[in-house]
Amino acid sequence: MAKSEKQFKMIRDQRYEEISDAALKIFARKGFAGTKISDITSSINLSHGLLYHYFKSKEEIYVAIIMNILDQFKQAVAEAEDQKGTPYDKLNWFSALTFSGSPEVALDRHILINEALQADFLSEEIKQTIRQEYADSLKVLSRIISAGQRDGIFIEGDAMELAAYYLSFSQGLTLWNAKGLYHINVTAESVIRPLLANP
């Protein structure tokens, strides 16, 4: 019996995710220049030809992964803003989501975004897109914080700066735990506490 178009699409999507996940890990550890297409294909037993069915080049894989990371981040902060409850509840939901994933994957994503912003091989247009996508997400978080300031929940100050402090703190703790030196039991409440007007 022939596979349906829906089944083919599911297989294509699964294969695309498999390639992306493998490439993320390899790019983060070897960097763009140090990564060969064969590193990616051999890690998931995939032929070069099949990989090129999904991506035209190494750079296309790299950029697609970065855009996917930014899309997921943007979607998460948008969902946080749409949550019911107080601004604290919304930030608490987002923080819990942030810490629910793998610290190693979070580290890989962080390394890739930082490398991309400094990379000579990427166009300034792509770098500007990365900055803009990140800034847009930061603005959403700042709106949540600003609403919390009006309600007397969060401390006074520039809401964008506070959003940057909050993200830096939560990402920093995630990256710290990924190093495996001394594990910190991070909770959503502990990350939000520095923002609270009355902790």
Query: What pLDDT does 62 receive?
Result: 94
For a pLDDT cut of 90, what percent of the chain falls above it? 66
Query: What pLDDT does 64 receive?
Result: 92
pLDDT band at 157 (very low <50, low <70, confident <90, very high): very high
State pLDDT tens for residues 77-116. 999 999 999 999 999 999 999 888 787 888 889 889 989 9
Query: What pLDDT does 7 receive?
Result: 60
Q: Is the pLDDT of residue 1 over 50?
A: no
Domains located in the chain, CATH noted: 1-55 (1.10.10.60), 58-195 (1.10.357.10)
Global confidence as pTM: 0.85
Better pLDDT: 138 or 107: 138
Cβ atoms within 10 Å of 64's Cβ, excluding its own = 16
Instruction: Determine the average pLDDT of the residues in 61-72.
Output: 93
